[in-house]
Structure 1
Amino acid sequence: MGELIVAVTAEVHHGCLFLEDAHVSGLRHDSWDPAAAQYDVEDDSVAFSVQPSVDGPVTVRVWRGEPGPEAAAMPYFSGVLRGVSGRVRLFDADEVVALAFDLPDGPHPFHVLTDSVEHPESVDIVFA
């Protein structure tokens, strides 16, 4: 089994989470329409839909390597965070979820597992 890097259960008011290089500045995903696509992957940032707070809390776990048995099983999407400068942030627009963790510099392939492709309440982000 891999390493659980960070985990949180929280109410995500707008039903959207962001995963990005901590040194990214400026507006990202401004052309993303969550009603049309559940996620948007850019080189140094990812935005994805989750269950909004009116429907209850969301649990998010970030793994390095094989996730544990508690991980969700349904593939959601995958991508590569390129140009990561060592620190990665996971947050929502209101910063109710505001976590940071370290990864080595460089590109980082990942995949996301969920319990639902519509509005997941359990999300596992798995870095290789």
Structure 2
Amino acid sequence: MQKFSIMIIDDCEDDRYLLKRVIKKLDISTQIFEADNGETALNFLEDYEENYKRFADDFPPLLIFLDINMPRVNGFEFLAAFHKLREANKNYTSSIFIMFTSSAMEEDKRKTEAYDFVKGFLNKGDLSKECIQESIESCMG
């Protein structure tokens, strides 16, 4: 599998750490960006010119893991804002999302399916190397 840049947006530092460890074990990333809430992530992504200068081909991230339940800007609010950002800046059309959440609610999964760039829904309880790899391969394949 070709390596690519990844972003993890989650308010739980432990969950970001665990996911980052699995990603590093899979050896699939060129760069891992992190944000502890949706607002911080949006601010980072909205600054396209500056971040492209800093990270070149690693920006914008190709794969984004997004939590749903976060303070400030939650996952659903983030998806709506990213949808607008994506329409305004075509450089974001290649970004793919995997929801990374503890929510097992079918309603939450249906809400995320409204966005064509959300390609997966991963429960935090399924944080094995195999499960993460399978999710990534099914979204990127």
Q: What TM-score do the two structures reach when normalised by structure 2?
A: 0.23
Structure ranking higher in helix proportion: 2
Q: Report the TM-score, using the length of structure 1 for normalisation.
A: 0.25
Higher strand share: 1
Q: Determine which structure has greater relative contact order: mean sequence separation of CA pairs < 8 Å that are 6+ residues apart, divided by chain length.
A: 1
